[in-house]
Amino acid sequence: MMSQMPQPTALSRCPSCEEPLEAGDRFCGACGYDLSAVPEPPQDHPTIAMNGSSTRTSEAVASLDWPLAPEPASSDTPAPVHRATDIRGTDSGGSELPHPDTESPGAQQPGGQPSGVRFDRPPEPDEYPLAPPAEAPAGPVADPRTADLGAPVTPPAGTKLCVACRSGQVDSDGYCENCGHAQPRERDHMEQELGAVAAVSDRGLRHHRNEDAFAISSTALPDGSPAVVAIVCDGVSSATRPDEASLAASRAAAEALLAALPLGTHPQQAMHEAILAASEAVNSLAEAPPAHEEHAPHQNAPACTLVGAVVTPALLIVGWVGDSRAYWVPVDRSSPPARLTEDDSWAAQMVAAGLMSEAQAYADERAHAITGWLGADAYELEPHTASFKPDRPGVVVVCTDGLWNYAEAAEEMAEVVPLDAAERPLHSAQVLVGHALDGGGHDNVTVAVVPFPAPPQGAGSA
């Protein structure tokens, strides 16, 4: 995590959300940040980790030479299986997507720009306006800076105690009825471990809320063998209610997989159908009124990206829409790591079309413009899936760009993943999130670590 330094004598803004502070504040009034231990502020420069000198990921993938996964016999229209050197995915009709090796270098959408582009990096304001408490508490209000904080206060059953003044109760809007401070949100930092998989999500150091979400679980296939599921979603910041979109998508995809896998559906086909279910869940949010009226004047369709993995004793399946990624890191590190997904982004299209090098594309301010997402205003839904059969143990890192911005190449990601990741997935996920926060934490950070092969049922899975 970030190193800590003594509290400055004059701190004008919160180091977490940059909310203006008053002299003597001990906690931020906007986000509840503890000002007694202030991390060093992130440097104000572009945060995209460049990869100009690293070996192209596809070269590393080519050396793996993983065998093909078997075609499912029970499905009339099985999703195609791809080698690690040919990760293209399939569209919703089962057709292969274009590949740079089979198209002319100048191929792109009509008009010279990829169609259906959405920018996920709107300019961030210096301050985030937060609504005041619904009504002022009756009677005189104690000043939390001079109040006696020594005596513990026990709140009534079913209520929360303010983290700032430690005496006021927290109302339904998340504000202290005594001092008015905003309380930390439940999704600011989340951790979960199920033995065979673990995930960690953090708000980061610059965003005022966490718009990422994850869902992890495990189930049994018809033959009794285990299947471990990890879904990670990243809300599109330029859309309305991105946090709701990511949560709905992650839950819907996980539920679809847990329902289909025990019935014998091939994992790759199940992943394809899970992405469609996640899309429907996000689409339904556009029909519902926003939970907060302040969003109404500029309401648009909620949207998010999705990446998921299913691990069995023999197969590794990944599926994605957008620019969240999955990486393969072998346990013995004697063979090269690999990136298992290809971004739906402006930068990826420029590289695929041969118009830019990878370093040039990701240095451009349009690099994070995504060309695929889940949402009612998506240009066209094209779920990508790929199936692999690794020949050695390893771990799958499923993450949002809040992590891979600081470890873009597969080799860089492998350097950050602890050597004991397969035995300690939760610790490894914590280390990876810490790496992103130490690098600046300019975005929400979410990562799931899934060991391969999936351990037998009863060996720590739940």
Q: Is the pLDDT of residue 114 over 80?
A: no
**pLDDT of residue 9 exceeding 70:** no
pLDDT at 207: 87
* Strand-strand pairing, 303-311 and 374-375: antiparallel
Q: What is the dihedral of CA 162, 167, 171, 173, to 10 degrees?
A: -30
pLDDT of residue 18: 73
CB 392 within 8 A of CB 332: yes
The pTM for the full model equals: 0.65
| More confident of the two residues 230 and 162 | 230
Task: Give tens-digit pLDDT for 434-448.
Answer: 999 999 999 999 999
d(CA 31, CA 34): 9
Taking 90 as the threshold, does the pLDDT of residue 427 lie above it? Answer: yes
The tens digit of pLDDT for each residue in 115-124 reads: 567 766 655 5
Confidence class of residue 74 from pLDDT cuts 50, 70 and 90? very low
> Average model confidence (pLDDT) for the chain?
77
Residue 214 pLDDT: 98
Residue 366 has pLDDT above 80, yes or no: yes
pLDDT, greater one: 256 or 66: 256
Which two tokens mark 337?
Answer: 């790591």
Reported as a single tens digit per residue, the pLDDT across 324-339 is: 999 999 999 989 999 9
**Long-range contacts (CB closer than 8 Å, 24 or more residues apart) made by 263-267:** 263/222, 264/74, 264/221, 264/222, 265/72, 265/74, 265/75, 266/72, 266/74, 266/75, 266/78, 266/79, 267/227, 267/310, 267/312, 267/315, 267/317, 267/387
Q: What is the mean pLDDT of residues 95-112?
A: 44
> Could you tell me the pLDDT band of residue 231, with boundaries at 50, 70 and 90?
very high
Pairwise pLDDT comparison (212 vs 351), residue with the higher score:
212
- DSSP secondary structure letters along 248-304: HHHHHHHHHHHHHGGGT--HHHHHHHHHHHHHHHHHHHHHSPPSSGGGGGG----EE
Give the pLDDT confidence score for residue 58 in this predicted structure.
39
User: In this predicted model, which residue has the larger pLDDT, 306 or 45?
Assistant: 306
Q: Which of 462, 451, 393, 402 is CA-nearest to residue 426?
A: 451
**What residues are paired with 427 via a beta bridge?**
none
**Helix, strand, or coil (residue 76):** coil
pLDDT of residue 291: 57
* Tokens read off for 396: 């799958």
Q: Confidence band (pLDDT; 50, 70, 90) for 129?
A: low
Average pLDDT over residues 13-33: 74
Q: Stretch 387-396: mean pLDDT, rounded? A: 96
Residue 55 has pLDDT above 60, yes or no: no
